[in-house]
């Protein structure tokens, strides 16, 4: 179900021509690589390999790539809501992206 839903989100981003930035932390470690259902749907998406930062926004390369899209609203997805999403979402709000409830 997770793989199917991730692929559906990736297809939606592609259909609406949304900028996509993919990132992974310690791909060779316990987190593993990005799933092929996502990378297959978005073969031209920028992929940022982080060096273990839990919060993606702690990576300057990631933060700069997000800012470079010029978008004010973000769609953030991840495998784990209590880590992958929570830290990135909190940091996005701290950086001025709107909080949606």
| Main-chain phi, psi angles of 30, to 5 degrees | -65, -20
For the record, the structure tokens of 15 come out as 């259909």
The residue annotated as part of the active site, out of 13, 38, 56, 84, is 84
CA dist 63 and 25 (Å) reads: 14
Q: Is there a catalytic annotation at residue 84?
A: yes
Token look-up 């992206």 returns 97
Residues annotated catalytic, as ranges = 84
């Amino acid at each position: 179900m997770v793989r199917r839903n991730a692929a559906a989100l990736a297809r939606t981003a592609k259909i609406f021509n949304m900028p996509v930035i993919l990132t992974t932390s310690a791909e060779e470690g316990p987190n593993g690589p990005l799933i092929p259902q996502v990378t297959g749907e978005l073969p031209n998406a920028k992929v940022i390999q982080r060096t273990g930062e839990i919060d993606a926004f702690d990576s300057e390369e990631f933060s700069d790539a997000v800012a470079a899209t010029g978008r004010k609203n973000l769609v953030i997805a991840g495998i784990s809501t209590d880590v992958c999403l929570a830290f990135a979402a909190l940091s996005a709000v701290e950086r001025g992206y709107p909080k949606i409830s």
